[in-house]
Amino acid sequence: MVKVEFFGIYRLSYKMSSWEVDAHSISDLLKKLSKKFPVFTYKELKNSVIMVNDVNFLHLKKYKTKLCDGDSVFIMSPASGG
């Protein structure tokens, strides 16, 4: 399972600080998130700042970044500096 933590407007909008999901990539995670909690669409979530194990996913493989069991993903508001 991947541990997802929400920050900024996401945490307030989802009304939860974390969520656990079985996802194999960031793209997969965002799709599952938008389906399970349709507060934000997949397209909207693509504009969030995403950190995988403390590294901005832009420095990895963006939406194709692979996720493994035990990985930590932060999803932060867009206006948090990319």
Question: Given the rule CB under 8 A, which residues bind other proteins?
Answer: 7-9, 11-12, 17, 46-47, 49-51, 54, 56, 58, 62, 74, 76-82
* Shortest Å distance, C-beta 11 to other proteins: 5
Closest separation between CB of residue 12 and other proteins, Å?
6
Return the number of the residue (2 or 51) whose C-beta is nearest other proteins: 51
Between the alpha carbon of residue 35 and those of residues 5, 49, 80, 81, the distances in Å are 17, 19, 24, 26
Residues 52 and 71: beta-carbon distance below 8 Å? yes
Q: Are 52 and 26 in contact (CB under 8 A)?
A: yes
Q: For residues 11 and 32, which CB has a smaller minimum distance to other proteins in the complex?
A: 11
